[in-house]
């Protein structure tokens, strides 16, 4: 067998070993969890079976030219991540898999009807997280329906990538290839950041750290490309995102104050609807003055509830604190990573206090 084939078989066997550990861990849980782990194992193995080494695909005459160009960019981005951003240097994102669907997993987030605290689910290796992922949309929707039956607010969204946290070599997926190369770059930087530092049972910390690394990485990568127009467009979109997140955080603060009031649940439901309506109105007023904010118009087309707001908060509410930490260290990434590693060793509340979070 050829070297690449042997490598692929070795990677597959390692995947099977790790996933078997997951199955054994699930063996002590309920039947519903066994079904969940079954779809997780099957879904991940399907992804792994579809992957091929990017250098081999570049050599094949049948590889479409557009894909060939994107895969070359992926390798350049991957090298930049390790050489310029001090992110893990390993086999991740050096293979490619076309999974023939728009998202690799669908994420389910749930909160109580009158609370902002997301429900968490606990897994081997990853610890407890504020979401649950399914490799099929129908599976996510069935689980979401069961949570709604419990009276919970639920949000389901497609996700273009996930990380095995360095246990396995994660491939570039067709779901990561967008119309702009910076979408691919940002995803690779984000997922590699999870491999570098990951704290069990603290989704907000993990996602905000990875988001901060992806932002800074994208700035540096775009500068290295000498594409001033793309860099300015990126900064413009970040300003739109900041305005959107600010609206979300303001709304969450109002809801938090409401849910803490000693009034009946019926009054809370009425006030919740009013606050969410005001959220929509604020967005409509502000988007006219900021074109980049208007890009979030489709987000407001769907149902807005506690779970949907929580999904935004998980990725963004701690980002300003991480950016302050990065700038405090002179924007040196190695210094930043060491500071984050020190935070990672603290208890959760101690981390929040150190980041000066409410």
Residue 7 has pLDDT above 50, yes or no: no
Residue 23 has pLDDT above 60, yes or no: no
For 300-314, what is each residue's pLDDT tens digit?
998 999 999 999 999
pLDDT at 356: 84
Model confidence at 3, pLDDT cuts 50, 70, 90, reads: very low
pLDDT at 357: 79
Q: Which of 56-65, 117-126, 177-186, 254-263 has the least mean pLDDT?
A: 117-126
Query: Which residues, 6+ apart, have CB-to-CB distance to 126 below 8 Å?
Result: 165, 198, 200
How high does pLDDT run on average in the chain? 91
pLDDT at 96: 98
For 204-237, what is each residue's pLDDT tens digit?
999 999 999 999 999 999 999 998 999 999 999 9
Cα distances from 63 to residues 15, 170, 204, in angstroms, run 27, 21, 39
pLDDT at 31: 59
pLDDT at 180: 87
Contact in structure between 164 and 198 (CB atoms under 8 Å): no
Cα–Cα distance between 281 and 322 in angstroms, integer?
A: 30
Cα–Cα distance between 314 and 208 in angstroms, integer?
A: 7
Mean pLDDT within 89-103 = 97
Pick the closest to residue 223 from 239, 234, 211 (CA basis).
Answer: 234
Taking the model in full, what pTM does it have? 0.90
* Tokens, residue 82: 């390790």
pLDDT at 30: 52
Model confidence at 27, pLDDT cuts 50, 70, 90, reads: very low
Mean pLDDT within 257-285 = 97
pLDDT at 179: 80
Cα–Cα distance between 219 and 224 in angstroms, integer?
A: 9
pLDDT at 17: 45
Residue 289 has pLDDT above 90, yes or no: no
Contact in structure between 42 and 196 (CB atoms under 8 Å): no
Residue 160 has pLDDT above 80, yes or no: yes
Q: Where are the beta strands (DSSP E) in the chain?
A: 52-53, 95-97, 105-111, 121-123, 127-129, 132-134, 153-159, 172-173
Task: Specify the residue for token string 């290839």.
Answer: 177
179 vs 188: which has the higher pLDDT: 188
For 111-150, what is each residue's pLDDT tens digit?
999 999 999 998 877 789 999 999 999 999 999 999 999 9
């Amino acid at each position: 067998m050829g070297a690449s084939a042997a490598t692929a078989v070795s990677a597959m066997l390692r995947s099977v070993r790790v996933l078997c550990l997951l199955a054994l861990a699930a063996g002590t849980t309920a039947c519903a969890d066994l079904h969940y782990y079954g779809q997780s194992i099957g879904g991940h193995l399907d992804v792994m079976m579809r992957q091929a080494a990017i250098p081999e695909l570049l050599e094949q005459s049948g590889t479409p030219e557009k894909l060939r160009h994107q895969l070359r960019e992926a390798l350049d981005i991957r090298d930049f991540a390790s050489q310029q951003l001090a992110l893990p240097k390993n086999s991740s994102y050096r293979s490619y898999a076309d999974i023939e669907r728009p998202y690799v997993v669908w994420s389910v987030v749930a909160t109580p009807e009158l609370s902002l605290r997301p429900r968490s689910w606990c897994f081997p290796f990853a610890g407890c997280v504020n979401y649950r992922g399914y490799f099929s949309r129908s599976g996510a929707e069935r689980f979401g329906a069961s949570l709604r039956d419990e009276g919970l607010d639920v949000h389901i969204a497609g996700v273009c990538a996930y990380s095995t946290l360095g246990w396995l070599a994660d491939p570039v997926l067709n779901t990561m290839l967008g119309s702009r190369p910076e979408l691919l770059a940002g995803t690779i930087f984000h997922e590699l950041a999870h491999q570098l530092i990951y704290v069990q049972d603290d989704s907000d910390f993990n996602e905000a750290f990875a988001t901060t690394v992806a932002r800074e990485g994208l700035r540096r990568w775009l500068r290295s490309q000498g594409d001033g127009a793309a860099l300015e467009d990126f900064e413009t979109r970040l300003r739109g995102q900041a305005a959107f997140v600010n609206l979300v955080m303001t709304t969450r603060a109002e809801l938090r104050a409401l849910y803490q009031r000693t009034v009946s649940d019926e009054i809370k439901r009425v006030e919740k609807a009013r606050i969410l309506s005001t959220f929509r109105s604020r967005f409509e007023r502000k988007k006219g003055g900021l074109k980049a904010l208007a890009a979030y118009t489709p987000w407001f087309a769907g149902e807005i509830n506690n779970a949907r707001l929580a999904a935004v908060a998980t990725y963004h509410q701690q980002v300003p604190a991480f950016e302050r930490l990065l700038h405090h260290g002179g924007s040196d990434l190695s210094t930043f990573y060491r500071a984050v590693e020190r935070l990672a060793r603290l208890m959760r509340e101690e981390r929040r206090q150190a980041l000066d979070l409410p």
